[in-house]
Structure 1
Amino acid sequence: MSKTNITIIGGGACGISAFVELFLQLRIAGFHKSISITIIEENKEVGKGLAFGTSQPGHILNTQADLMGIHVDEPEHFSDWLIENESQVGSEVVDNQGQQEAFATRRLYGDYLKSQFEHYLQLAEKEGMQVSVIHAEADRISNLKSGFKIHLADGKSHQSDFVLLAPGTPIANNYAELETHSTYFASPWPSAPLLKKIPKDAQVGILGSSLSAIDALMTLEDNGYTGKITCYSLDGLLPRVQPDDQPMPERKYITLRNLHEIQRTKLRRPTVKDMLRLFMKEVEDLEGEKIDWKATARTGKDAATLLKADIALAKKGGDALTNIPYSLRYDSTQMWKWLEESEKLKFKKWLGGLWGINRHCMPLVNAKRIAQLFSDDRLSIIPNLASVDFDKKSKSFKLTYGKEQLANEKYLINATGPASAVKMMKSELIQNLAKDELIEPDPVGGIRINPDTMQVTVDGKSTSGFYAVGHITNGMLLDVNAVWFNVQMIGKLCRHLTSEIIGKPA
């Protein structure tokens, strides 16, 4: 009798978490011996993908350790692992070493992921579950009468009854026309091409000024680069700075209760204006005074001056504009789900950038290093980027910004961050799935899913046996770049998938 197969495409944090949770649920239900799990991962090591396969010490997790556990309902598992493995941690933990709220390097987190996968792989095999890893790239999926056929880039294929898409964070193809040039780098990761091709004393241009750009800066700094660096972005805004011990204010106004009250009393969904009004009221209540909101605008202000002020604020525990979004992390997805699609698009247009820099801050240790780059006159931030072209005559990149101002860079790193829209995702698998109509792009970003089951949906109908988790669900869910959130969604997904197999709720 053939075993029911579950295939997980992607062996990063989401893929490993899903594998572990599926094994546990199926083992507890007593169905594990009739199930096989296949993990398709293109990298040589499971757990060491683009995000966590980095070798750079300056690539630091932007979330504290006690929220990074990959086990459902045990978010503190990673911080416990750090304490249990203190001998191998060393300088890989910064800010409050050995404490639950520590920030760790991403390469150490990759070690954690690998250790969890290896442990549960051995345990699953010991308990009689068949688990296999295919080290190849999946580039297409066919929907069969019963199950799926997964086509691999090496020409082989694999059939499965259930498929879980966990491809990680996709690189953006927003400057695809530049990729033929050897001095252009489509992503800060992996860092090896940058270190191999960019001279130590070269002037370097970076597209973007968000967390991805911070990674690019840290790569150059960690490896002794001495040249000047310029970041070009639309708004010229750096992420704000996260305190070592960030407060979680008890909110009075921007709450699920108040937003639900709008629904039951006004018989409509809340709007972005409703949420913004409540947020502003919350900030003023926490600060204890009326706020000059125009004065809080950051665009057009000197990035170095803003960073210096943000570092000082972070040392004192931050301000309401960072601490309130931080305190919303467990409620923000439900709030997002309540918004109409048109309101989500308004939010991204009006407030997306501000939400990003205040909700997803940089660790204090990296902020201090960037401040030093400003002090040494080695870093500049230029806003209002308009276009990027390659000039064949000078063999350099021509960047237009502001009022038709020009700059030239010989070396250019694209650090604009992960792609939100499906059409901008540099993934043959995702593009083929869209072309074959096995996924449906969401206008807000990512693909459409059923957020209650994490099943892929097309034309409003869930596709049986086909699931997705992580960044590719970014339009329908909000915090998809947070491991703790994805792990919660994986819990939903695995409960539904297990119930489909055993015929009753898991």
Structure 2
Amino acid sequence: MSLTNITIIGGGACGISAFIELFLQLRIAKSHQKVSITIIEENKEVGKGLAFGTNQPGHILNTQADLMGIHFAEPQHFSDWLIEHDARIGNEVVDNQGENKAFTTRRLYGDYLKEQFEHYFELAKKERMAVEVIRATAIKVTKLKSGFNIHLSGNRKHSCDFLLLAPGTPVANNYPHLDKKKNYFGSPWPSSPILDKIPKNADVAILGSSLSAVDALMTLADNGYTGKITCYSPDGLMPRVQPEEQEMIECKFLTLKKLHEIQRNELRNPTVMEIFRLFMQEAEAYAGEKIDWDETKRTGKPADQLLKTDIEIAKNGGDALVNIPYSLRYASSEMWKWLDESEKLKFKKWLGAYWAVSRHCMPLVNAERVNDLFDTKQLRVVPELKEVVYDEKKKGFVLTCDEGRETVEKYVINATGPASSVKMMKSELMQNLAKGGLIEPEDAGGIKINTETMQVITGQKTYPNFYAVGHITNGLLLDVNAVWFNVKMIGNLSRHLISQIIGNPS
């Protein structure tokens, strides 16, 4: 009897979590010897992809440890693991909020992922389940009469019955004309090309000012770079700072209850403006006073001054504009689902940048290091970036900002963050899936899926044996760069996928 094969494309956090949960549930249902699981991973080590394969000590998780567990329904598993392995972790933990809520280096988290995967991979083999890792790059997928054929690097092919896309965070392809230019680095990760090719005393331009740009800054700072560093970005906004003791607020105005009242009273979904008004009520109730909302605007204000203020706010427990998004983390994705697509696009246009910098803050330890770079005049942030081109005559990159101001830079690191839309994803696999009609781009970003089961949707058709998880679902699900959220979605996905194979076990 041939085994039903489940193939997971991607051996990062999502892929590992899915593998473990699928194995556990199949084993508990005593169906594990009827199913095989294959993981396709292009890196040498499972769990050590772009984000978590780094060796830089300044590359720190921007989420506290008690939300980073890889196991379904156990978000605190990673913080428990840290306590259990206290003797071996040394300086890899930044105690920003107390032991359980500590921030750690990405490389330590990569060690945790690798260890969890290896343990359950060996356990699956011990339990006589057929499991394998294929170290290759998935390039293309074709639909078979039953299942899929995956085209791999090295002219190899692999067929499967069920397919799960978990390719991780997609690198942006927003400057394709620069890709093959000398001294252009398309991503801050891995850091080795940057360290190998940029002299320590060189001036460096970083495209972007978000968390990815902070990682690029930390790479340069960790390795003793002395040249001037300039972050160029459209809005000039840096992430806000994670409070030392962040307060979970019990929201009274911006709640699922309030939004559902709009649905049943108005027979429609809420609008962005209605949600923002509720947010304003919530913020003023938390602050205990009226807020001058014009003063909360951050665009156009110097990044160094904003950072100094944010550090002081973080040391005093945060403010309404940081603590409310943090407190909404378990409800925000459901709220997002209740917005019509046109309203999601309005949110991204009007409020997206502010949500991003307030919801996904940088750890205090990195904020203070960035502040030091500002104080020594080594770092500056330039807003309103319009264009980047390479000029052969000037033998450098010409960056055009507001009012046509041009600057020539010799070294450029693209740290603009992950791609939201499919067309901007620097992934041959994703582009081929779109061309082949196996995925359909969502206007708000990512691909169309069933948000309850994580099955892929194209047109009006839901693929019964095709699933996706992680950042590639960013348009329909809001918190896709949060491990705890993806793990929660993987729990739903796993139960649904297994029920497709063995039915609903009693």
Q: Report the TM-score when normalising by structure 1.
A: 0.99
Aligned partners of 1:172 and 1:425 also within 8 Å: yes
Aligned partners of 2:96 and 2:363 also within 8 Å: no
How is 1:133-282 mapped onto 2 (pairs within 5 angstroms)?
133-282=133-282
Task: Find the aligned partners of 1:460 and 1:153 in 2 and give their Cα distance.
Answer: 32
| Structure 1 residue 460: Cα displacement | 2.4
| Structure 1 residue 180: Cα displacement | 1.2
| Structure 1 residue 95: Cα displacement | 2.0
For residue 479 of structure 1, give the secondary structure of its aligned residue in structure 2: coil
Task: Find the aligned partners of 1:109 and 1:219 in 2 and give their Cα distance.
Answer: 18
**Residue 451 of structure 2 aligns to which amino acid in structure 1?**
P
Aligned partners of 2:449 and 2:457 also within 8 Å: yes
Please give the per-residue CA displacement for 1:176-226, whole angstroms capped at 9, x wherever unaligned.
Answer: 100111200000000000000000000000000000000000000001101
Task: Find the aligned partners of 1:301 and 1:31 in 2 and give their Cα distance.
Answer: 59
How is 1:78-477 mapped onto 2 (pairs within 5 angstroms)?
78-96=78-96, 99-477=99-477
Please give the per-residue CA displacement for 1:128-168, whole angstroms capped at 9, x wherever unaligned.
Answer: 11110000000001100011111102101001000000000
Task: Find the aligned partners of 1:20 and 1:460 in 2 and give their Cα distance.
Answer: 31
Please give the per-residue CA displacement for 1:216-256, whole angstroms capped at 9, x wherever unaligned.
Answer: 00000001101110000001011000012211111110000
Please give the per-residue CA displacement for 1:108-129, whole angstroms capped at 9, x wherever unaligned.
Answer: 0000000000000111111111
| Structure 2 runs not aligned, ≥5 long | none
Aligned partners of 1:83 and 1:98 also within 8 Å: no
Please give the per-residue CA displacement for 1:376-420, whole angstroms capped at 9, x wherever unaligned.
Answer: 000000000011110101210000001111111000000000000
For residue 277 of structure 1, give the secondary structure of its aligned residue in structure 2: helix
Task: Find the aligned partners of 1:68 and 1:51 in 2 and give their Cα distance.
Answer: 14
**Residue 56 of structure 1 aligns to which amino acid in structure 2?**
Q
Q: Number of aligned residue pairs: give it.
A: 506
| Structure 1 residue 175: Cα displacement | 0.3
For residue 195 of structure 2, give the secondary structure of its aligned residue in structure 1: helix
Please give the per-residue CA displacement for 1:442-467, whole angstroms capped at 9, x wherever unaligned.
Answer: 00000000001000000122112100
| Structure 1 residue 96: Cα displacement | 4.5
Aligned partners of 1:183 and 1:412 also within 8 Å: yes
Task: Find the aligned partners of 2:30 and 2:245 in 1 and give their Cα distance.
Answer: 43
How is 1:472-491 mapped onto 2 (pairs within 5 angstroms)?
472-491=472-491
Task: Find the aligned partners of 1:98 and 1:237 in 2 and give their Cα distance.
Answer: 28
| Structure 1 residue 505: Cα displacement | 5.5
- Cα RMSD, aligned residues only: 0.9
Task: Find the aligned partners of 2:474 and 2:400 in 1 and give their Cα distance.
Answer: 30
Task: Find the aligned partners of 2:413 and 2:149 in 1 and give their Cα distance.
Answer: 37
**Residue 227 of structure 1 aligns to which amino acid in structure 2?**
G
Task: Find the aligned partners of 1:257 and 1:210 in 2 and give their Cα distance.
Answer: 33
For residue 275 of structure 1, give the secondary structure of its aligned residue in structure 2: helix
Task: Find the aligned partners of 1:358 and 1:98 in 2 and give their Cα distance.
Answer: 21
Aligned partners of 1:495 and 1:505 also within 8 Å: no
Task: Find the aligned partners of 2:452 and 2:154 in 1 and give their Cα distance.
Answer: 35
Task: Find the aligned partners of 1:19 and 1:182 in 2 and give their Cα distance.
Answer: 39
Aligned partners of 2:96 and 2:365 also within 8 Å: no
State percent identity of aligned pairs.
Answer: 69
Please give the per-residue CA displacement for 1:239-293, whole angstroms capped at 9, x wherever unaligned.
Answer: 0000122111111100000010111111111010110000000000000111110
For residue 242 of structure 1, give the secondary structure of its aligned residue in structure 2: coil
For residue 452 of structure 2, give the secondary structure of its aligned residue in structure 1: coil
For residue 452 of structure 1, give the secondary structure of its aligned residue in structure 2: coil
**Residue 267 of structure 2 aligns to which amino acid in structure 1?**
L
How is 1:46-65 mapped onto 2 (pairs within 5 angstroms)?
46-65=46-65
Please give the per-residue CA displacement for 1:61-80, whole angstroms capped at 9, x wherever unaligned.
Answer: 00000000010000000000
**Residue 257 of structure 2 aligns to which amino acid in structure 1?**
R
| Structure 1 residue 316: Cα displacement | 0.4
Aligned partners of 1:227 and 1:378 also within 8 Å: yes
For residue 38 of structure 2, give the secondary structure of its aligned residue in structure 1: strand
Aligned partners of 2:446 and 2:474 also within 8 Å: yes
Task: Find the aligned partners of 2:328 and 2:505 in 1 and give their Cα distance.
Answer: 30
| Structure 1 runs not aligned, ≥5 long | none
For residue 100 of structure 1, give the secondary structure of its aligned residue in structure 2: helix
Task: Find the aligned partners of 2:5 and 2:27 in 1 and give their Cα distance.
Answer: 15
Task: Find the aligned partners of 1:310 and 1:484 in 2 and give their Cα distance.
Answer: 26
Task: Find the aligned partners of 2:499 and 2:459 in 1 and give their Cα distance.
Answer: 24
| Structure 1 residue 434: Cα displacement | 0.1
Task: Find the aligned partners of 1:208 and 1:447 in 2 and give their Cα distance.
Answer: 24
Aligned partners of 2:438 and 2:458 also within 8 Å: yes
